[in-house]
Amino acid sequence: MEEIIFPNQIRMFRRLRGRSMQELADHLSVSLSAISKIEKGYRRVDQEQLVRVAEFLDCPLQDLFVNEQNSQQEIVQAWRREQERRNKINEKTGLKALGAGLRQIRNEKNLTLIEVAENADMTLSVYHRIEMGQREVSDKEMKNIAKALSMDVEKLKNEIKNLEEKGLLEEIIQRNDAKYKLLSTPRGAISSFNNASQDNLKISVLGVAGQDGDVIVDFENPLRKIQRPVNLYGKKDAYAINLCTRRLGSLLPTRSILFVDPQEVVSVGDIALYYTSDNNVKILSLREDENGQLYGLRWNPDERIEIGNNDLNRIHKVVAIYL
């Protein structure tokens, strides 16, 4: 099953402009099948592709998204019906419980999303959708996930079953549902784009290599600007950081760009920036010790960074990563 990414009006504008699916596919250098899934909202589209679609169809970027004020009512209703149908399928097939169970076990083992995804030979996006209960898992993928969690498949399934029977997954499922609803609502999707000017389509990239794997950040002199991710529209304080350090080991390739939202609350498993001064940053993988105290990890060499309760306002959460 594929994740519904967002409701859109790409098909409507394409037909209004008299353009074929094949022409759009050629323009984006993707398959015809991919365009079909994009138009139905089943396939993820990055920001650069969205801009190219808007240019190809000669329409404002924000008009590609369904909204209750300007979209045809049948489009809005069709989106809602499809969303409800897939949510019911997910409930019947136990995907939500599976995803919640995987998240619970991963947190208990102090593993990050990135670590499990990498060790399971998956992209971060795919594994995240599995934990959100929005994607089916093949037998091979389940075997890889179990291996990444240092368990065999049967033990993993039994552990998830036990967690569900004890009622320990309900809170995670409710949080996932709330997050998914927020991300996929037509009203929410369009509001952020309506508030975005053309200048807001870009975000500053900062960061040069410092000493001992730290990163030097100069907010007054951004290195360049790149396309802003959809989830950071309206986030005036958001910025991007070059991954110009190997102190996260092999978790991410060196060409990665980390998108940061200082207003987001950090939690165990996040990648985050820890400001030791106004301009000096340590990029950390956040963990929690047996006493519930947050700390950060770096590698090459291994280093544990203690984080006090008064330091939380100096930690900025990484909310998206371009690999």
pLDDT in tens, 232-275: 877 888 999 999 998 887 667 777 899 999 988 888 888 899 99
Taking each helix axis as running N to C, give the angle between helix 186-194 and helix 73-92, from 0 to 180 degrees, rounded to the nearest 10: 130
Average pLDDT over residues 178-196: 45
pLDDT, tens digit, for every residue of 25-42? 999 998 998 898 888 777
Q: Identify the bridge partners of residue 317 per DSSP, sorted by sequence position.
A: 261, 272
Whether 143 shows a pLDDT value over 70: the answer reads yes
Cis peptide, bond prior to residue 301, ω within 30 of zero: yes
Centre a 10 Å sphere on the Cβ of residue 39 and count the other Cβ atoms it contains: 18
Higher-confidence residue of 65 and 147: namely: 147
What pLDDT score was predicted for residue 182? 46
| Farthest-apart Cα atoms in the chain, separation | 63
What does the alpha-carbon distance between residue 281 and residue 286 come to, in Å, rounded to a whole number?
14
Q: What single-letter amino acid sits at 29?
A: S
Give the mean pLDDT of the chain: 80
Closest to 184 (Cα-Cα) out of 79, 265, 39:
79
pLDDT of residue 216: 95
96 burial class (0-12, 13-18, 19+ CB within 10 angstroms)?
A: buried
Q: In the predicted model, is pLDDT for residue 192 greater than 60? A: no
Q: What single letter denotes the amino acid at residue 303? A: E
Residues 6+ apart with CB under 8 A from 115: 148, 251, 285
Distance CA 7, CA 57 (A): 17
How far apart are alpha carbons 38 and 224 in whole angstroms? 30
Q: What is the pLDDT of residue 92?
A: 52
Q: Which residue has the higher pLDDT, 285 or 323?
A: 285
Work out the pLDDT band at 193, boundaries 50, 70, 90: very low
Domains and CATH numbers, the chain: 1-64 (1.10.260.40), 90-184 (1.10.260.40), 200-322 (2.10.109.10)
Residue 169 is which amino acid? L
How many degrees, rounded to 5, is the angle at CA 307 between CA 203 and CA 317?
Answer: 20
Residue 197 confidence class, pLDDT cut points 50, 70, 90: very low
**Across 67-76, 136-145, 158-167, least confident range:** 67-76
Cα–Cα distance, 207 to 218 (Å, whole number)? 7
